[in-house]
Structure formats: structure tokens, C-alpha cells
Structure 1
């Protein structure tokens, strides 16, 4: 575990790793937050969220940090947070719970307001309350965490613990202070032959890019990093549609992720790409917690995803299910070859030292980065339906984009629904065009559930 230099036991006091540093730099250019939401039906006692936030801080060492750097912005490191409390903000919602007021709050505030990196903590809580003090009282709870210390898995797990701690404020077991993700990579990735491994990985990426010649989403006019604002569109599939999707994916020999990525690629190509486009690159974040040595559990805060590109064939003759099988096949091949871990290791060479010296890296991401159009799918999330007398529903997450791309779809299944959130960079797309892509993707997927195509090969898996 080289790279771990903790201070007091259980505290994170160390330099940021290359991946953490890259996210920290992105966040300085344009906010890079991850947001989780759950709907809670019932009454929340006064101060319950403050006490629950305090319990979270005691459990998770990364919720007790801020980031300090040299005067020139280089050498960032985790230091003790100036304030050990997670701030709680209450929003009174006038409309009914189904009005989507929580999504408006995420769009207007949580995705565009950075967390206080210098004083910490790198998290905040929002309580969107409906009908307080009545039998119909309910809450949309939002937890926003910096991507420096969280991914979708982390923020949903923290939100689950927040609700549980609001019911019972006794803190759970304290999590260990972990080193940067790169320090836990397998020796085959992180050992002495690393330079050769990285050279091969770079060559393979360039060859795949040249062979695919994918169309990439680009803004009508260049957008400076500080002008990139993440916006949100919320969509979802109900229980019946979700059941039909999982059944059809099983019969077609693909995964739900493959079907969603194919529908997104077809939607992007239909709404954006010039005539004759044959390939769209869809980035697929891969959770590598179980691939580390030792493995990292979902309750350990941190960002443990690496985005690998999948090249989706589109066009008049391309069907949804053929494209979905191609995505599934390519993604499995990438994971088997540990391509995602090589990309994590590659950040040692690519992560700039500071925001002031990040222009070249941002340009490279714009030209070749796998997150240009991205689908982050957590699959089925184990989120309880009840905690005490509270009824819970709609647990889901939303990802900010910053400078990593222009369109991101975040997906998870919980409470008998598939939650499909689209975030986009305003100015690169605009609300109308982004809405067309989101609606086109949903329509394409639902139409594919009714359409018959060439049968799946016998080797297919669900």
C-alpha cells in the first residue's frame, strides 16, 4: 500500500493520487459533483439529518478531509477539514411530490455549485420537504459529494447510511483510511513492467480509435472549461417496462447495459451525427473495486471507476439488439484484458500537476477521451424499501460532467424502476437538443422491446 501516509489512526493525510488529482483539477475548472436522491415518505424529526451527517463523518475518513495545495496549485494533499459537520439545507416544495422538484434542485444548484475544497467537508445534504407537519409529509433527500472522493456506488451507499442514521444515530463501524486507488492495482498492472504495459495500452487505444473512426459530439462553438455547465434531464422505466427489458435482453444474449448503450448511440447519431455515420463511441465506466489488491468494498468511500470506450455501429441497417450485443462483447473483452486498470495506471502519466497547467490534458480529453458520450450503469442497487416507519423509493444518482465530456447517462435499478438520468453540457447541446436525444433513446429502447430482429447467437448470455 505504498502512497498511504496517514496521520492519526483512521485519518486520511496524504497526497492525492493521480486519479484524485485529475478529478480535483476538473472540479476547479467546472464543478464535478455526484448526487444521490431518495424519496422518503413520513416525518423527519428536527435535527435528524444533522445527527445522521455527524454519524457519517465518524464512519468515513474521507468525509473528514479538505484539500490543500502549494501556492501555484500543485502538490494537492488531503488535510483535516476545517468544519467537521456536513451542512444541511432545507427546501420547502410547494408542488406535489411527483412534481420533480428534487430534479430542479439538482439541476439549478447541486450540479453547478462546487463544494468547499479548501475547508471541507466534501459533501452536503439537501432536504426537499413536501407538506411538513401533515399526514402527507414526505421528503426528497439529496446527498452531494465531490467526485474526488466518491462515485455513484459511494454516494448511494452514503445516502443509505444517512437514512439509516437518521432513524438510529448510533454510528456504524469506522471505515479504514485507504491509499489512492493506484496503490492497490495488481502487480501485473502496477509492477516493474508498467512502462511497457502502458505503451501497449496506448498503442492499442490508438489502433482501436483509428480503426473505428468514431463520430464524436462537439459543441457548435468551442467552450472554455470554466463555461461548461452541467444540466439534468430525468427519465425512468416503470416496473413493467423494466421486466420486459430484462427478459428481452436475456433472450437476445446481451445485458441491460448493452441495450441502453446501443439505444443511446442510436439516439445520439439520429439527433446529432451527419449522414453516413457508422460508429459512435460510448464510454462505459467500469467499477474496479473487486479488481484491487486487496479488494475495496462498496462502503469504502472513493472513486473507483475507469471509463473504457465501446464503439457502437449505427446506421439504417443497424438494429438495436445487434448493436447491444456488440457493446456487451466489447465491454467484456475490455474487462477480461484489464484494459480499465491500464487506463487507471495511465493517469500517472497524463494527470496534470495543477489546474493552471491542465490545458493540454483538457484538449486531449476533448479530442480522444472515452467520456465524450458516456453511460454509467450501476445495475441493481440494494436500497431498502423501508427504514423503521419510513417508506423509501426512487433511489438513484446523477453525475456532473465538468470537462470529461458533453453527455452522460447515469442508470441504476431500485424500487422496481430503472432510473435513467441524462446530464449534458449546456452550450454544447442545449435543453431542446438534449431532450430530443433523451426521448429518442427511451423510445428506441421501448420500440426495440416490441421489434423482432435476427435471433441471438447460441453463445449469448443474459
Structure 2
């Protein structure tokens, strides 16, 4: 192996965090999906060439996975091809929600082929090809082993800019070490690690005493039989502007307000004060040594639980302030980094050895109900001659829990996508949860006009 190859290619054993995502994906798909609406003429060759250029830029997009016959010792090897698959779907001009069905029926249901790679694929949903109204919904699906929501949107942005001729080709980026190798020394060091273990254990004891409410499945669904489904909600530009203003005045973040809304929805009609658990994936790119830029591919989030107190007839802002304090405390104690470090003790060696870990996550894991919010993401409004809108991301649930909400604010709208495990959560229950969460959030605003509503199920 040459020195150049060492710098430009990822050829190493998976880290515990990567191995955990890979094991989960084999049990039930664990993808991250990003979509943007493109208005203008685009040929399949434009996307093909852009996808190849994107793969050349990112070492993690050029990998496949190899393992021992028993599924242990997984490692990154070279992908069989550096050309991601592109699936083109032609549909009627009136079928504006076809992209949603493609995500729901296909992209969330099928894992990437890790044996051959690359761990990314594309879909182009075309309406009105060859007419003045030609438009495309471009969908990028990437394995959570090598990507989180920020990565997926960054890759999609770069892909569209390359396809539109609005970006320069660049040489390949250097291959980065796994996330655990870049954790601050104070996290990986034994005395500090012991402190974090004690902190996590103490938090577990406190949670056991408080007995926070979790979402319980209506019907138990075996981990291998889990199927993720999608419901979409969206807030208008006026609602987003007022939400940001009200959050500033209340001294909380938008994430805390969204967490509070989901906690109120989870608590339902309650006659007593109760606590509910809502997980929050925390982006730790900036805390690594050296810091990792958002344009570098990889999965750099760790989910911590917030035990949010909800009183009868709870006021959104009171609940939001409690959620804000809880998450801020966990970040201050670096619980998210502690969990990444502790994965070296908890991550199963293979799917065959995963039953215990999966059962523990099912019972007490922080992702039971989860809010993955990347905040304001400035996806460009134009690329070359194309007008861009509706950029958003969606996530598989896999074995991490039962309901995940993904949120980003782009193109002046807040996209709030709910995914849930079919069967464990009925479609009616998922719809009701989404409606209650949106209603709880809007209850804290004066501008309460209904958000744009789109829902789909297979």
C-alpha cells in the first residue's frame, strides 16, 4: 500500500461505533435519506457524472465491508465500483408526492449492499420531462455507518451543485480516523472515563426512581422484522420566524421547544405530573481533536436521553425550559462523548452476538422516542440554472427505538419528518402523535395557521 493510498483510502477495522451501526443495519435497515426539489432540465448523465465525482471526493463513499465467516471483525475494504446506482422514476406532473412514496416504500426499506459498496445510492423522480415545467426530486440514500443527517444533506448539496456545473471538482479528501480515535484525551483517559461511567450510572439510577414514560409498542415486533414508515409535517416560514422569536424570549432553543412538544404528545392526557423520555442526538464534530468539518462524511452524533417533566395542561414554554436545562446539563458533563467512548465495551462483535445489546437498547435505550434536529441548514436556493427547494432529511429507526423525528430548517420551512416502526406503532397512533406534537408546538405561538401536512404509508 503506497503512502498516497494510506492518506486517500479507508482500509481499516471498523470502530465500535461503526460496528454497532453496521450490526443494526443487518438486523433492520439503518439508512439516512436526503431529498431536494430541483426545478429545471436535468439529464440522468448529469447526475451520474456528479455522483462519480462525489465518490472520488470522499474516501468513505469508496468503501465496502468485509468480515469473518461468523460476521465478526468487520473492516472497510475497497468498493467493487465507484459508481453509485441511479434509479430514475418517471411520473405524472400531478404526482407531487411520488418522491415521498419512493422514500417510504423503497429507500427506508432496503439497506445498502455493504458487501460490494459503495454505501450510497440515488433516485431521480422526474415530472414533466422535456417540458417548460420539468422538475426533479433528487433523493440520496446513505448508510448510517458512514453518515448522519448533516452528512446526508451536505452530500446532496454537493451532488446537485456538481450536476448543475455550479461547483469545481476537487481532489479526494484525506481519510479521517474513526470518531473514537479523535475523542479528547480527557474522555478516553481512564480516570475521566471512570467519572463518566459513574455519571451515566447515576443518571440511570435517577431515571429508575423517576420512572419516565416511554413509548410502548402496541404489538411486539421482532427486531429482524422491523419496517420503518414515514409521516411528514412542515411549518411555514411565518411559523418558523415566530417560533425562533418566542424561543429567544423564553430563553430556550428551538430544539428544546420541539422536544417539549414531543414530550407533551407522548405524555398524552395526564392527570398527574409525569416524566417522559425523549432522546436527542448530539453532534460532536466540533469537540473532536482535530475538529471535523460538516463537509466531511461520517456519523458524528451520539444520542442522550432527556427526562422531561410534563404537568397536567402543561404550558409549552414551561416544559421547554425543563427540557433545555436537562439537555444542557448532559452536554456540560459530556455524556454524549462518554457514550461514544463506552461503546468499546458495549458494541457487539457481530449480529450473532447482538441479542443482549439489542434487548438492552429496546428496554432502556435513549432512542425509544428520538428528536434528531440539525437546526438551520442553509441549502442553496439555486444551483446553476436550477431552482432548489424543500431540502430535508429522513432516518430509519432500525432497532434503536420506535419513533424518530428528524428536523431541519431549510428554504424558509421547518421540515418535521416522523418515522416509526410499523406494527409496533400503528399508522393511526403515529398520525395522532404527529398531530399532537404539531398542535402542542403551535399552542405556544400566536401565528397558529396549520402547517403544511403530507402523509404517506405503503
Question: What's the TM-score once normalised by structure 1's chain length?
Answer: 0.93
Q: Which residue of 2 aligns with 1:404?
A: 400
Of 121, 129, 132, the residue aligned with 1:132 is 129
CA distance in 2, matches of 1:191, 1:296: 21
Q: Segments of 4+ in structure 1 off by > 4 A?
A: 274-277
CA distance in 1, matches of 2:262, 2:379: 26
Following TM superposition, by how much is the alpha carbon of 1:450 offset from its aligned partner in structure 2, in angstroms? 3.2
Q: Which residue of 2 aligns with 1:199?
A: 197
Pick closer, same or farther for the CA change 1:46–1:232 going to 2, 3 Å. Answer: closer
C-alpha deviations, 1:110-148, integer Å up to 9, x for none? 001110010000000000111110000000000000000
Q: Which residue of 1 aligns with 2:291?
A: 295
CA distance in 1, matches of 2:4, 2:315: 53
Q: Which moved more, 1:147-156 or 1:304-313?
A: 304-313
Q: Which residue of 1 aligns with 2:442?
A: 446
Following TM superposition, by how much is the alpha carbon of 1:316 offset from its aligned partner in structure 2, in angstroms? 1.2
Q: Which residue of 2 aligns with 1:110?
A: 107
Contact 1:18 1:348 in 2 (8 A): yes
Contact 1:189 1:197 in 2 (8 A): no
Q: Which runs of 5+ in 2 are unaligned?
A: 448-458
Contact 2:200 2:335 in 1 (8 A): no
Following TM superposition, by how much is the alpha carbon of 1:333 offset from its aligned partner in structure 2, in angstroms? 1.5
Q: Which residue of 1 aligns with 2:456?
A: none
Pick closer, same or farther for the CA change 1:54–1:170 going to 2, 3 Å. Answer: farther
C-alpha deviations, 1:364-386, integer Å up to 9, x for none? 00111000000011110021000
Of 395, 418, 434, the residue aligned with 1:422 is 418
Q: Which residue of 1 aligns with 2:311?
A: 315
Q: Which residue of 1 aligns with 2:357?
A: 361
Aligned counterparts, 1:256-271, within 5 A: 256-270=254-268
Following TM superposition, by how much is the alpha carbon of 1:298 offset from its aligned partner in structure 2, in angstroms? 0.4
Calculate the aligned-residue CA RMSD, in Å.
1.7
Following TM superposition, by how much is the alpha carbon of 1:292 offset from its aligned partner in structure 2, in angstroms? 0.3
C-alpha deviations, 1:53-112, integer Å up to 9, x for none? 000111000000001100000000000001111110011122526x32211111110001
Q: Which residue of 1 aligns with 2:73?
A: 75
Q: Which residue of 2 aligns with 1:50?
A: 48
Q: Which moved more, 1:274-283 or 1:113-122?
A: 274-283
Contact 1:66 1:78 in 2 (8 A): yes
C-alpha deviations, 1:402-440, integer Å up to 9, x for none? 000100000000001000000000011111110111011
Q: Which runs of 5+ in 1 are unaligned?
A: 452-462
C-alpha deviations, 1:196-223, integer Å up to 9, x for none? 2343133223123124311111212321
C-alpha deviations, 1:140-190, integer Å up to 9, x for none? 000000000000000000000000110227522422101110010000101
Aligned counterparts, 1:132-281, within 5 A: 132-168=129-165, 170-193=168-191, 195-270=193-268, 276=272, 278-281=274-277
Contact 2:164 2:385 in 1 (8 A): no
CA distance in 2, matches of 1:321, 1:357: 44
Where 1:127 maps in the other structure, the secondary structure is: strand
Question: What's the TM-score once normalised by structure 2's chain length?
Answer: 0.94
CA distance in 1, matches of 2:352, 2:216: 24
Contact 1:6 1:12 in 2 (8 A): no
Following TM superposition, by how much is the alpha carbon of 1:346 offset from its aligned partner in structure 2, in angstroms? 1.0
Contact 1:58 1:171 in 2 (8 A): no
Q: Which residue of 2 aligns with 1:19?
A: 17
Q: Which residue of 2 aligns with 1:459?
A: none
Following TM superposition, by how much is the alpha carbon of 1:358 offset from its aligned partner in structure 2, in angstroms? 0.4
Where 1:301 maps in the other structure, the secondary structure is: coil
Following TM superposition, by how much is the alpha carbon of 1:280 offset from its aligned partner in structure 2, in angstroms? 0.8
Where 1:356 maps in the other structure, the secondary structure is: coil
